[in-house]
Amino acid sequence: MEHRVVIVGGGFAGLQLAKDLKCPNLSITIIDRRNHHLFQPLLYQVATTVLATSEIAWPIRAVFRGRKDVTTLLGEVVGVDVEKRLVSLKGGHAIPYDTLVLATGARHAYFGRDEWEPFAPGLKALEDATTIRRRLLLAFEKAELETDPQARAGLLTFSIIGAGPTGVEMAGIIAELARRTLVEEFRNIDTTSARILLVEAGPRILPVFHLALSQYAERSLASMGVEVRTGRPVTDCTEEGISIGDEFVPSRTVIWAAGVQASKAAVWVGAETDRAGRAIVQPDLTVFEHPDIFVVGDTASVKTGEGMLVPGIAPAAKQQGKYVAQVIKARLKQRSAPPAFKYRHLGNLATIGPSSAVIDFGRLRLKGTIAWWIWGLAHIYFLIGTRSRMAVALSWLWAFTSGHHSARLITQKETLKDEV
Amino acid sequence: MEHRVVIVGGGFAGLQLAKDLKCPNLSITIIDRRNHHLFQPLLYQVATTVLATSEIAWPIRAVFRGRKDVTTLLGEVVGVDVEKRLVSLKGGHAIPYDTLVLATGARHAYFGRDEWEPFAPGLKALEDATTIRRRLLLAFEKAELETDPQARAGLLTFSIIGAGPTGVEMAGIIAELARRTLVEEFRNIDTTSARILLVEAGPRILPVFHLALSQYAERSLASMGVEVRTGRPVTDCTEEGISIGDEFVPSRTVIWAAGVQASKAAVWVGAETDRAGRAIVQPDLTVFEHPDIFVVGDTASVKTGEGMLVPGIAPAAKQQGKYVAQVIKARLKQRSAPPAFKYRHLGNLATIGPSSAVIDFGRLRLKGTIAWWIWGLAHIYFLIGTRSRMAVALSWLWAFTSGHHSARLITQKETLKDEV
């Protein structure tokens, strides 16, 4: 009989696993509550009007068009029956499995301050990006209509909380938006007067990078007009602004880039979790006492050889997907299991501005334009399909040469009462 | 003192007017409740996954980047004080004018059956297109999960109500989507079994075209698998399907392409209206007893030389914008007013399928591939900016050569209770 592998989540880990897992007598079902795989490393560029939504998202079923052994289902998983080996979907469907792989990712989290979410949206899904995009653009629009100078200043202050790569990258593009892209288009406000704050509770930005690169990034951001505030945490967040330590800063647009919380997948299968809700897994990425259930990607708490947590980045997720494919194949062919999963860190990358980036490969460290080109080519290489590569390359070429961004749309309806 | 022209609406009429109206001592304010000008003739391609939202929508303020005399405001007009000459915005702002131009367009209308709207969305704004796109794609997704054959058939029946150019164009692309684009991607359903109904109450499709072209289009659609139903009106519309005359057709996805209703602009200024809410205007497109207020585009009821209503299409709106610019310029320079507005009909165009179209220039009539090329080049020519032209050309080239559509995203949240 056919061995049924069910993969929940079509992110980097799930997709890589399905791609690698091509075996006779094996069928794969991918379940995702969205119809698309999202290229999250570039999501911040959708949030900041550089890229269009469809340039970094592809229907999961289109990726597996030629693979008759792969079935894609759009559905929201609500639970797993580990005894009967059934995945329950919202709406009543139950999908049977022989091997289950949970790759359901993470959401942004507010360290117990969930009441901040309406004022400080995070960035994980496509709708998060269009929400942030709408707020960014609306702030300038409202400022153009506003006559009170104080209210206008609050509208033209943008705060990004958290200075990992995503926070740094967003601060850089927002600075470019205010100082270059929008500057000729407003009549009542001077967009170059916009304040962009990058707030980090820790002692420095880009903490996982080498100190020299982190300092370089800070100087670069400062030269672009970004105020970098390190060493004090955000203590409050309201519709009117944020508090950094004791200081209140009026800021009507706040973006959250500080913390993540794993999906509830660990709860479905009764796995032990760490503080961020990640399932603590065995060395082969299975759940304790459930060798037929794997947890991978941002939902899994996996340690490196040095005892550090494997970071929640795309290459780590892909490596785990690849590894689980090997384990499942070995089992089906009744060969001995591969050795424990070992994470190989390739490096850290972050863009700072329109033509600057920092890359930390450990021994090799790069910064500036050369790093930006490597960053850009690497990201284009990892996109799915020629079509997307051409579209993203065109969008970047356009933004780079003209300074104009091609996806400056305000869409969606707003729930906050004060929005236009 | 500077003469203040306020234009409400950044559609084809308003944009053309602002472009043409470049005078010393004249300032222009464009107010729109959206931040973008929308290229409506291609909106159906967003609804049917061929084009991305940002490919056919541009920030209005970006269009007038170089024009310091043009101010763009994002705001929703709630009324006009014709005595004090003030336009009131939601939120309390009041914008003074010397000359007011209302170019606020139209919305789809349900001929008094507004209760049909949740089940049969129409297509006017960008969000309408993404709503239709989501429903189209969700129908296939749900059918893939559905085990009951009858329910599945309802999910795989798509009805388009109204067979003007928009209805015909959507039916053609949905047929292509089902018979070509999606066919390799589903495992439980055969997407080629999808029924696509094009329902028209009148005796034939494309009624404004020459009979021969209308018959050609009907044959072409039939060969693509579209069921064309003419001569009987839709009498009911529910979540489960539509009634055509006495016949009930289970159809979970219904698209409305049948009627429009003008915006409320006529009411703001107390103008007399026709049945569709359009303001009845003077020969110079001003409102009776208000020579300082013009109404143009889909909001105006304008007659051709033959006493017919000027159609609600982009070229007509542009001609009216151009004309009003001449009138305002003549007034400012105290020259005699230009003769009454005269509409010049350029022709009717509609695509039928991926490489077929019909064009009716009156004496010259074209159909098939040659018409499609003329249609495509004309539309690319009228897009704004090199960037959009390149992006749309790339999307079409891709769809044409590979059959794959590049904007197959399900986004937005759903309000109907049964959605996944």
Q: Same domain, yes or no, for B103 and B228? A: no
- B251/chain A closest Cα distance in angstroms: 20
Task: Let me know whether A95 and A148 are in one domain.
Answer: no
- Nearest beta carbon to residue A145 from set B62, B73, B404: B73
- A294: domain CATH number? 3.50.50.60
Q: Are residues A235 and A319 in the same domain?
A: no
Residues A328-344 pLDDT 10s: 999 999 999 999 999 99
Look up the domain containing A323 and give its range: 3-33+75-108+260-332
**Whether residue A223 is found in the same domain as residue A267:** no
Name the domain boundary from A281, A307, A332: A332
- The CA distance from A376 to the nearest CA of chain B, in Å, is 20
d(CA A300, CA A325): 16
Q: What token pair was written down for B155?
A: 């999910």
Domain-located, residue B87: yes
Contact residues, chain B, for A188 at CB < 8 Å: 71
Is position A339 within any domain? no
Domain count, chain A: 2
- Alpha-carbon span B157 to B252, nearest angstrom: 7
**Chain B residues with CB-CB distance to A401 below 8 A:** none
Chain A residues near residue B53 by CB distance under 8 angstroms: 52-54, 409, 411
Q: How far is B283 from chain A (nearest CA, A)?
A: 35
User: What DSSP letter does each residue of A186-230 carry, written as one string?
Assistant: -SSS-GGG-EEEEEESSSSSSTTS-HHHHHHHHHHHHHTTEEEEE
What is d(CA B253, CA B159) in angstroms, rounded to the nearest whole number?
6
- Considering only CB atoms, B185 lies closest to which of A53, A65, A398, namely A65
**Quick one: pLDDT at residue B416?**
40
Q: What is the pLDDT of residue B420?
A: 30
Q: Give yes or no: residues B89 and B156 share one domain.
A: no
Question: Does A321 fall in a domain?
Answer: yes
- CATH number of B209's domain: 3.50.50.100
Whether A245 and A286 share a structural domain: no
Chunked mean pLDDT (size 10), chain A, 420 residues: 96 98 96 96 96 95 96 97 97 96 95 94 94 96 96 98 97 96 96 98 96 97 97 96 97 95 95 95 97 97 90 96 98 95 95 92 94 94 90 90 88 49
In order of A82, A210, A279, A323, the CA distances from A289 in angstroms are 11, 40, 13, 19
Q: Report the phi/psi class of residue A334: left, alpha or beta, with left for phi > 0 and alpha for psi in -120 to 50.
A: left
**One domain for residues B129 and B188:** yes
Give domain status of residue B79, yes or no. yes
A-proximal residues of B, 139-198, CB under 8 Å: 141-142, 144-145, 184-188
- The one catalytic residue among A2, A144, A146, A169: A169
Q: Pick from B258, B291, B309: which residue ends a domain?
A: B258
In-domain check, residue B358 = no
- Same domain for A150 and A264: no
Q: Would B103 be classed as within a structural domain?
A: yes
Low-confidence ranges of chain B (pLDDT < 50): 415-420
The pLDDT value given to residue B235: 96
Is-contact B228 B198, C-beta < 8 A? Answer: yes
The answer to whether residues A291 and A98 touch, using CB atoms and an 8 Å cutoff, is no
Q: Give the residue from B208, B224, B258 where a domain finishes.
A: B258
Residues A325 and A364 in one domain: no
Let me know if B141 is a catalytic residue: no
Residues of chain A contacting residue B391, judged by C-beta atoms under 8 Å apart:
391, 394, 406
Catalytic residue among B169, B176, B200, B218: B169
* Residue B85 shares a structural domain with residue B213: no
C-beta atoms of A420 and B35 within 8 A:
no
Shared domain check, A232 and A302: no
Do A96 and A124 lie in one domain? The reply is no
The answer to whether B403 contacts chain A (CB < 8 Å) is no
The pLDDT assigned to B419 comes to: 36
- Residue B50 resides in a domain: no
Is A141 part of a structural domain of the chain? yes
